[in-house]
Amino acid sequence: MSRKPVQAREGEKGRLEILFDKPQLLGRLFGEFDRNLVAIENRLGVYIAARGGKLQIEGEAGAIAQARDVLTGLYNRLVQGQEIDAGLIDGVIAMSNEPTLDGIVRSDSGMGGTSVMIRTRKKTIVPRSPTQIRYMERLAQDDLIFALGPAGTGKTYLAVAQAVQQLIAGSVDRLILSRPAVEAGERLGFLPGDMKEKVDPYLRPLYDALYDMLPNEQVERRIASGEIEIAPIAFMRGRTLSDAFVILDEAQNTTPAQMKMFLTRFGQNSRMVVCGDPKQIDLPNPSQSGLADAVAKLSGIDGISMVRFGAGDVVRHPIVGKIVEAYEGPDNRYE
């Protein structure tokens, strides 16, 4: 791929041409009815014209450079066999705004290896925000990670993806997914059905993430064999979880006693990820959140990572990030 550099200075109008060397990928790059190009135009305030394998970008010089980096990043993903969707485009644009990244091209060169890429049976997952890059690096390296932040930032989804990758590779023997059911007391007796029918609705997000990573029949087979276990946190009591990748979701709704019980299940050759939104506590007494208590007690301890997401890291529909920002302020980090 060759480029003609922009000769205009920052703030001036300019023009840039990009020539792509794999024209067979351009239909997927542009999107149906050029919707990907239109999305970039609308977000960055540039004009993009496609002629054969060449794109011409016009607008303010800084916006042109950003559009170039976004298109280059998307194109490189297609070359690597990945797919493009609206969420990825928003994520790449957001990452190109990150002042410490020097544009998406540099971060792409760093994303060529597995340290910031997760491969599962059904898809290859790449980071969609700068914080996701740091989180995925921690997932690949650390034994105990706390992921704190609002809904839609990929905390649990990426943890499940990393767990599935390690299960497939044989690095761990079991994948254990847990979350509090109903509320911290887990009073389920009034609900109809057996225990599985009572708790499954509260564990459904974990099932959904699994089915996104593995073929349905593999999920069912691995659950039946015990390789994958999905259960309320109360089921963890009295166990030692060795050779396992263990994920606790919705951790803000645990009590300090439950959190201590869960963390002390840690066994040999195990990995643990604790995910939660400290600002969405459903306990009768929010000040008694086990997640907040654990973060206060364990911050700064060697071997324990704290990854904090903010509203700017939301990778769902763009309006979700705006909603989080409206409630909590612009990019309010979860300190």
Which of 59-63, 141-145, 215-219, 261-265 has the lowest average pLDDT?
A: 59-63
Structure confidence at residue 160 (pLDDT): 93
Beta bridge partners of 119: 124
Residue 127 confidence class, pLDDT cut points 50, 70, 90: confident
Amino acid symbol at 11 = G
User: Do 176 and 289 fall into the same domain?
Assistant: yes
User: Do 107 and 211 fall into the same domain?
Assistant: no
User: Do 68 and 146 fall into the same domain?
Assistant: no
Q: Does residue 30 or residue 107 have the better pLDDT?
A: 30
User: Do 280 and 314 fall into the same domain?
Assistant: yes
Alpha-carbon radius of gyration of the chain: 22
User: Do 104 and 235 fall into the same domain?
Assistant: no
Residue at a domain's end among 112, 137, 172: 112
Residue the block writes with tokens 């485009």: 89
User: Do 20 and 152 fall into the same domain?
Assistant: no
User: Do 25 and 162 fall into the same domain?
Assistant: no
Structure confidence at residue 3 (pLDDT): 45
pLDDT in tens, 98-123: 433 232 222 233 333 334 678 777 77
**Buried/exposed code over 270-291 (b: 16+ C-beta within 10 A; e: otherwise):** bbbbbbbbbeebebeeeeebbb
User: Do 82 and 131 fall into the same domain?
Assistant: no
Q: How many domains does the chain have?
A: 2
Distance (Å, whole) CA 252 – CA 11: 45
pLDDT in tens, 36-91: 888 888 888 888 887 777 888 888 777 888 888 888 888 988 888 888 877 788 77
Tell me the mean pLDDT in the region 228-250: 90
User: Do 94 and 162 fall into the same domain?
Assistant: no
Residue at a domain's end among 112, 146, 180: 112
254, 289 contact by CB (below 8 A) = yes
Amino acid symbol at 106 = R
On the question of pLDDT at 298 being above 60, the answer is yes
- Rounded mean pLDDT of the chain? 79
Whether residue 87 lies inside any domain: the answer is yes
Residue 302: both structure tokens together = 């060697």
Taking alpha carbons only, the member of 206, 212, 250 closest to residue 228 is 206
Distance (Å, whole) CA 196 – CA 192: 10
Q: What is the CATH number of the domain that holds 81?
A: 3.30.1370.10
Residue at a domain's end among 60, 88, 112: 112
Which of 7-16, 39-48, 173-182, 301-310 has the lowest average pLDDT?
A: 7-16
**Buried/exposed code over 151-177 (b: 16+ C-beta within 10 A; e: otherwise):** ebbbbbbbbbbbbbbbbbeeebebbbb
Give the Cβ contact number of residue 147 at 10 Å: 28
Whether residue 83 lies inside any domain: the answer is yes
Which range marks the domain in which residue 43 is found? 2-112
Structure confidence at residue 329 (pLDDT): 65
Whether residue 334 lies inside any domain: the answer is no
Distance (Å, whole) CA 30 – CA 296: 47
On the question of pLDDT at 163 being above 90, the answer is yes
Vertex 55 angle, CA 54 and 56, to 5°: 125
User: Do 175 and 86 fall into the same domain?
Assistant: no
3-state DSSP helix/strand/coil % of the chain, to nearest 5: 45, 20, 35
Q: What is the CATH number of the domain that holds 216?
A: 3.40.50.300
Distance (Å, whole) CA 61 – CA 45: 11
User: Do 108 and 121 fall into the same domain?
Assistant: no
User: Do 134 and 148 fall into the same domain?
Assistant: yes
95 CB contacts (<8 Å, ≥6 apart)? 73, 101, 104, 107, 127, 128, 129, 130
On the question of pLDDT at 189 being above 80, the answer is no
Say what the pTM is: 0.65
Looking at residue 269, the DSSP 8-state letter turns out to be T
Residue 144 confidence class, pLDDT cut points 50, 70, 90: very high
